[in-house]
Amino acid sequence: MRLFVGLGNPGAKHARNRHNIGFMAVDGIARRHGFSPWRRRFQGETSEGTLGGERVILLKPATYMNESGRSVQEAAGFFKIAPGDVTVFQDELELAPGKVRVKIGGGIAGHNGLRSISAHIGNDYRRVRLGIGHPGVKELVHGYVLSDFARDDADWVNTLCEAVAEHAALLATGADATFANKVHLAMQAKGFLTKDEDGKE
């Protein structure tokens, strides 16, 4: 069994925030693969289905970003899911828009959602880092991540979420590098990434 966690903030006013691309990604997985309707539990919302022959629980914490770990710990504890079987979809300032990286463990790079999760279940979970770009100045980061994607961003954001959903079974079966490569190729085919951006860590 796998736990796929999308990070974001609850409520309609945050729905299109850059910080909520993790929510958008798991919503896309649920739609594409016919997962069960969302239901409220574990201080969040869950949806269940199967990817690559593996049972997968999707989770969107409703605790706000800074307390995401409480929801993740509750769900992982209930299903007895080890940190190594938890995958977190997060916004990543240090990657160009549309780039994706997958890694297990490592630093949290100031991401409050990851900080909370690591505090509650340890650091050995998988992160799917979804590039949103950087505003260029540290002082602008807070407002940047909590503001909506620009209208011009809609095409690449939708393409990215669709590609993540299409290839999500690769994450469920541990084929992380293949997943990242497939998503990269999908973004490249639509002209959102250049050929020198090879999708490697």
Give the tens place of pLDDT for each residue, 97-110: 999 999 999 888 78
Q: Dihedrals φ, ψ of 169, to 5°?
A: -60, -30
Q: Does some domain include residue 197?
A: no
33, exposed or middle or buried, with CB in 10 Å at 0-12, 13-18, 19+? middle
Q: What is the tally of structural domains in the chain? A: 1
Whole-model pTM: value is 0.95
Q: Does some domain include residue 195?
A: no
The confidence score (pLDDT) of residue 201 equals 39
Q: Does some domain include residue 201?
A: no
Considering the candidates 14, 19, 33, 111, report the single residue annotated as catalytic: 19
CATH classification of the domain holding 92: 3.40.50.1470
Q: Does some domain include residue 115?
A: yes
Range of the domain at 124: 2-189
- Mean pLDDT over residues 4-16, rounded? 97
10, exposed or middle or buried, with CB in 10 Å at 0-12, 13-18, 19+? middle
C-alpha 25/C-alpha 161 separation (Å) is 5
Of 200, 176, 141, 192, the residue nearest 52 (C-alpha):
176
Q: Does some domain include residue 196?
A: no
C-alpha 83/C-alpha 102 separation (Å) is 15
Q: Does some domain include residue 198?
A: no
The confidence score (pLDDT) of residue 134 equals 95
199 band by pLDDT with thresholds 50, 70 and 90: very low
Angle between helices 154-166 and 21-32 (to 10 degrees): 50
C-alpha 41/C-alpha 11 separation (Å) is 16
Q: Does some domain include residue 41?
A: yes
Q: Beta strand 44-51 with 54-61: parallel, antiparallel or unpaired? A: antiparallel
C-alpha 48/C-alpha 59 separation (Å) is 9
pLDDT at 193 over 90: no
Whether 142 sits among the annotated catalytic residues: the reply is: no
